[in-house]
């Protein structure tokens, strides 16, 4: 891959209470690509995602986003959308109202954009049902809408198709491919090999906090 990387991890390691969580991770990720991360539970995928978002600090090594070092130049990537575990959406609010509460923090998008994002993931933006009435699949879709609504440059999704039926999985795949075409840098963690292979330009295999394999798909050179 040529050109400057958008997101770089340089020999990143993380230790928590003497336990080695991540070991010597090197990444060079570009915009307009989807990167798949596969590995068993506890292999370090989610922890790596948290680290790339600035939520945890590297014990060794550094993470650069768009040329700026996390923890030194910036605390968090300036434009990032994340889905790691369900957000604590309020049961008494509609999906729209829950997203609006989060969008109000930055105020970079209007109500129309929030509704558009809800529609993109296959939910009805004008649905008056409260979040407590949502099925697991609907909750997952709302979580994805939350991650993409502010049109972030970097999108990090941990098991985005969890709890979705086959139609839902297809819809989300389409959304992700559209976002990729828009030039976003997308990172996805999943157990599902077939789904990851379909979506990803490159795959990273993780085991015990290390990247044990890395390969490109569809002729893309890693």
Partner 1 sequence: MRKRLVFTRLLYRDIAYSFSYSKIKYGIFFILTALLAAGKALQLQEIDSAGSVDVLYFMLKDEGYFLNLDNYQVPVDWIFFQTVALFLLSDYYVHDLGRNALYVTIRSSSKATFLLAKLFWLILQTAALFVGVFLVGFCVTGLVLGHFSLEVTPFYQHHIMPMLQLDRSPLQLMAQLLIGYIVTTLVLSTAQLLLVQFLDPVVSFLIVVLLLGISTIVDSRWLPAIHSMILRQEIFDLEHALSWQFSYLYSAAFFIVLSIAALLVYRRKDIL
- The residue among 86 and 198 lying less far from partner 1, judged by its C-beta, is 86
CA distance 153 to 32: 9
Residue 198 found at the interface with partner 1 (CB under 8 A):
no
Compute CA distances 46 → 23, 28, 34, 40, 188, whole Å. Answer: 14, 18, 16, 11, 10
- Please report how close the Cβ of residue 150 comes to partner 1 at its closest, in angstroms: 8
Residue 107 makes contact with partner 1 by CB under 8 A: yes
Cα 93 to chain center, whole Å?
24
For residue 55, the minimal CB distance to partner 1 (Å) is: 4
Binding mask 150-189 for partner 1 (x = CB under 8 A): x---------------------------------------
Of 189, 101, 188, 196, whose CA–CA distance to 149 is shortest?
101
Q: What is the C-alpha to C-alpha distance for residues 131 and 150, in angstroms, rounded to an integer?
A: 21
Query: For the stretch 173-182, what's the b/e string if a residue is b when 16 or more beta carbons lie within 10 angstroms of its beta carbon?
Result: bebbeebbee
According to the binding rule CB under 8 A, does residue 76 interact with partner 1?
Answer: yes
Q: Which is nearer to partner 1, 76 or 215 (CB)?
A: 76
**215 is a contact residue toward partner 1 (CB under 8 A):** no
Query: Which residues contact partner 1 by CB under 8 A?
Result: 16, 50, 53-57, 74-78, 80, 82, 84-88, 90, 92-93, 101-102, 104-107, 146, 150
């Amino acid at each position: 891959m040529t050109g400057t990387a958008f997101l770089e991890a340089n020999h990143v390691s993380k230790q928590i209470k003497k336990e080695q969580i991540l070991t010597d991770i090197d990444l060079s990720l570009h915009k307009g690509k989807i990167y798949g991360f596969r590995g068993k539970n506890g292999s370090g995928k989610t922890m790596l995602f948290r680290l790339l978002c600035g939520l945890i600090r590297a014990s060794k090594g550094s993470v650069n986003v768009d040329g700026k070092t996390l923890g030194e130049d910036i605390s968090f990537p300036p434009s990032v959308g994340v889905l790691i575990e369900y957000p604590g959406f309020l049961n008494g609010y509609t999906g729209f109202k829950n997203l609006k509460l989060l969008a109000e923090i930055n105020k970079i998008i209007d109500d129309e954009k929030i509704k558009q994002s809800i529609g993109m993931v296959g939910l009805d933006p004008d649905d008056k049902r409260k979040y407590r009435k949502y099925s697991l699949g609907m909750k997952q879709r709302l979580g994805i809408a939350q991650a993409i609504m502010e049109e972030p440059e970097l999108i990090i999704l941990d098991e985005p198709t969890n709890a979705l039926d086959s139609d839902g999985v297809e819809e989300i795949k389409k959304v992700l491919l559209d976002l990729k075409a828009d030039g976003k840098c997308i990172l996805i963690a999943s157990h599902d090999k077939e789904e990851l292979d379909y979506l990803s330009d490159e795959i990273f295999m993780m085991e015990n906090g290390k990247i044990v394999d890395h390969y490109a798909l569809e002729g893309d050179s890693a």
